[in-house]
Chain A
Amino acid sequence: MAAPASAEAPVRGAMTPVPHRVLSRVQETADTWTLELDPLSEPVQPRAGQFDMLYAFGVGEVPISTSGDHEGGPLTHTIRAVGAVTRALCALEPGAVLGVRGPFGSVWPLGEAAGSDLLVVAGGIGLAPLRPAIRHALARRDDYGAVSVLVGARTPDDLLYVPELERWRSRLDVEVDVTVDSAAAGWHGRVGLVTTLIPGAVVDPAKASAFVCGPEVMMTFVVRALLERDLPLERIWVSLERNMRCAVGHCGHCQLGPTLICRDGPVFPAAAMTRLLEVREL
């Protein structure tokens, strides 16, 4: 029996990477680099919150969120070298070619948040997927009320995008607050978890939207702290991570309860996820 009408095999399979050339490679921290990429054929244009699958030739493929401009500009990915594939990607010099599939997944609801205050809470590498949303809000500053960016990192050396954080902090129309979990001598900023910054953030909880990205346990506690400030749960969004092999909802690896993170996420309304995140090993 013939398959359903939609069954026509696509011209190019969703599993086939599109070659891109490395334009630039910038070291962010001891183990993290940012690559700017230029397509050799059709461009991949992710929106804030989405991710691409990056393929290091002959090594493997990993999901990496977009961390460049929301619209226009080169394809930008910030990658932490923690495994064989990410180490190979971070070692690519300008001119090298890698494969890209994408863009995949859901976006930060920048349109929905427009008109309200915007609170962005980032933990560690979680700042990378949030940077396109922050850049978007700052480029269209009048679309939002108060904008507050709260950044946490394990140590001062783990802070991402320090020059850009400093530029944002020099502006009078955005609050940028930074804290580290632990610091050695020479750090004059705050010490403590990122949740400690939430009570003092300048946004009005009654009319604020919050975007949160970081380790899962950090997001759980940030959501709790936001609820304690009376930010409504339905105005909070989180970005989640799971093992992803296909990115197109076919391989099953990225399931979290009823969701497929690659298809239904990675950006989710916190209301849909907090109960699931409370269940161990789900």
Chain B
Amino acid sequence: MTALPTPDADTFVIEPEGLSALVEALCHEGYRVVGPSVRDGAIVLGEIASANELPCGWTARHEAAAYRVERRDDDAVFGWAVGPHSWKQELMPSRVRLWRASSAESVEEEPPPGRPLALFGVRSCDLHAIAIQDRVFLEGRYVERDYALRRTGAFVVAVDCGEPGGTCFCASLGTGPRADAGFDLALTELVSTEHRFVVRVGSDTGREIARLLPVRAATDADLEAALAVTDEAAGRMGRRLEAGGLRDLLAGNLEHPRFAEVAERCLTCGNCTLVCPTCFCTSVEDVNDLADGSAERWRSWDSCFSTEYSYIHGGSVRRSPRARYRQWLTHKFGTWHDQFGTSGCVGCGRCITWCPVGIDVTEELAAIRAGDGEVDHAHAR
């Protein structure tokens, strides 16, 4: 291992010790490094101080309504697909204080979070999810201040996916499995022969961090092996989705009989919206302290599956589970395009895995497509 082979090399190789050096370098540079660990029977995200905390030798099995972590027979660090957490819990935490006030005349906004974030091990689907949330929170008429404070200056270490789960379908949407943009550094883990990581540089900041690592030049064999990992993974997606024309398909099928059918199974629990890496809906809570009379405003994750979500004077707009499931599905795959110029789905499959009754969006959308134009006369006006 030597210093970076050429100062501007865009691709190089690190060994497992290099991965430790990367975590240490990011910590040393003052980042709050957030990465995956095995905890409570799941691969979850949290602050890490060392590469030893990464899920080395673990994998996970995904099916509709089923998730199990299991041992691998090798030491792969990233030999698993996405877990129940997504990076939105760091970029738009589930509950944050926006401001506090001792009176209506003195409102003090929450100070910016201290350390910048380093997101360690972001899959391609989740890179796309972050880009979608950037559109929602940063690229409209108004900038979401709290999101901007957390997002600005965040360092992203992406990881190409070599082990798609049983509910994954990023290959159908063009959102993976290979990280294509939106990272500072991207890793491809190679385990079949010598355990190593091919690293691609995605930004100047990434290059500066890379200079701190023990690296060797990437050979053609390294690069070919790295491409083979994602090419092979693309062929092993557990689910597939015909993504073309979904916006118009859904706009034209708001009274499709499938919505009543899926509502018989849907518990309206909101799990899908919580695990979804793009679902951005929040509620605003104003709370006050009875002791000193001060007030605070908090922003918390909300879900279109609750009846309160659509409440206006006189009652909720979407009372039936049918209407609430329709809202979620048609927003995610249809009206998201109208609102933000992009689909709201990245094919991560979390909503399928963590639906307690195993409702599968790919199956629901296929059913609507198969019955395009059918009308549920019991519900339609």
Binds A, one of B30-38, B151-159, B221-229, B350-358: B151-159
**Cβ-neighbour of A4 out of B104, B134, B205, B310 (below 8 A):** B134
Chain B, 131-181, CB within 8 A of any chain A CB: 134, 136-146, 148-149, 151-156, 181
User: How many whole Å from A258's CB to the nearest CB in chain B?
Assistant: 3
Tell yes or no: B67 within 8 A of A by CB: no
From known contacts A98-B104, A281-B317, infer whether A258 and B335 are also in contact, taking CB-CB under 8 Å: yes
A260 touches B339 (CB 8 A): yes
One of B58-66, B238-246, B281-289 at the interface: B281-289
Please tell me if the beta carbons of B295 and A7 are within 8 angstroms of each other in the complex: no
Which of A133-141, A178-186, A237-245 binds B? A237-245
CA distance A249 to B142 in the complex (A): 8
B297 at the interface (CB under 8 A from A): yes
Is A13 in contact with B109, judged by CB distance below 8 angstroms?
Answer: yes
Interface residues of A in 4-59 (CB under 8 A from B): 4, 6-10, 12-17, 19, 40, 55, 57-59
Residue in chain A with minimal CB distance to B320: A281
For A251, the chain B residues whose CB sits under 8 A away are 281-284, 302
**Quick one: which of A17, A263, A281 contacts B318, CB cutoff 8 A?**
A281
Q: Is the CB of B151 within 8 A of A13?
A: no
Q: How many residues of chain A are within 8 Å of chain B by beta carbon? A: 50
> Which among B11-19, B46-54, B75-83, B95-103 touches the partner chain?
B95-103
Nearest A residue to B280, CB-CB = A252
Q: Does A95 contact B (CB under 8 A)?
A: no
A–B Cβ pairs within 8 angstroms, 22 of them: A1-B156, A1-B181, A1-B206, A2-B152, A6-B138, A7-B138, A16-B107, A57-B103, A58-B295, A59-B286, A61-B284, A97-B103, A97-B104, A242-B317, A248-B142, A251-B302, A257-B251, A263-B140, A279-B381, A281-B318, A282-B323, A282-B327
CB-based nearest B residue for A253: B309
CA distance A246 to B322 in the complex (A): 26
Checking A1, A8, A17, A243 against B104 with a beta-carbon cut-off of 8 angstroms, the contacting residue is A17
Chain B residues near A (Cβ < 8 Å): 98-99, 101, 103-105, 107, 109, 112, 134, 136-146, 148-149, 151-156, 181-184, 202-203, 205-206, 251, 254-255, 280-284, 286, 288, 293, 295, 297, 299, 302, 304, 309-313, 317-320, 322-323, 326-327, 330-331, 334-335, 338-339, 379-381
Most chain B CB neighbours (cut-off 10 Å) among A242, A280, A282: A280
Q: Given the complex of chains A and B, what is the CA–CA distance between A8 and B149 in angstroms? A: 8
- The answer on a CB contact under 8 Å between A255 and B323 is no
- The complex places the Cα of A59 from the Cα of B139 at a distance, in Å, of 31
Q: Which 9 A-B pairs have the closest CB atoms?
A: A258-B338, A252-B281, A13-B145, A281-B323, A58-B288, A248-B142, A57-B104, A9-B148, A58-B295
Residues of B within 8 A of A281 (CB): 317-320, 322-323
Measured between beta carbons, the chain A residues less than 8 angstroms from B98 are 13, 15-16
Q: Are B286 and A61 in contact (CB under 8 A)?
A: yes
Decide if the interface of chain B is mainly helix, strand, loop or mixed: mixed
CA distance A58 to B322 in the complex (A): 36
Q: Is the Cβ of A83 less than 8 Å from the Cβ of B320?
A: no
A99 at the binding interface (Cβ < 8 Å) = yes
Partner of B313, one of A55, A82, A258: A82
- Chain A residues near B313: list those with CB within 8 A: 82-83
What distance in Å separates the Cβ of B136 from its nearest Cβ neighbour in chain A?
Answer: 7
| B21 vs chain A, min Cβ distance (A) | 20
Q: Cβ of A166 < 8 Å from any Cβ of B? A: no
- With both chains docked as a complex, state the minimum distance between the C-beta of A54 and any C-beta of chain B, in angstroms: 11
> B299 to chain A: which residues have CB within 8 Å?
15
Q: For B318, what are the chain A residues with a Cβ–Cβ distance below 8 Å? A: 281-282
Residue from B104, B109, B151, B302 in contact with A99 in the complex, judged by beta carbons closer than 8 Å: B104
Q: CB distance B152 to A7 under 8 Å? A: yes
On whether the beta carbons of B156 and A250 are closer than 8 Å, the reply is: no
Which A residues are CB-close (under 8 A) to B309? 243, 253
Residue on B nearest A258 in the bound complex, by CB: B338
**B379 partner residues in chain A, CB cutoff 8 A:** 280
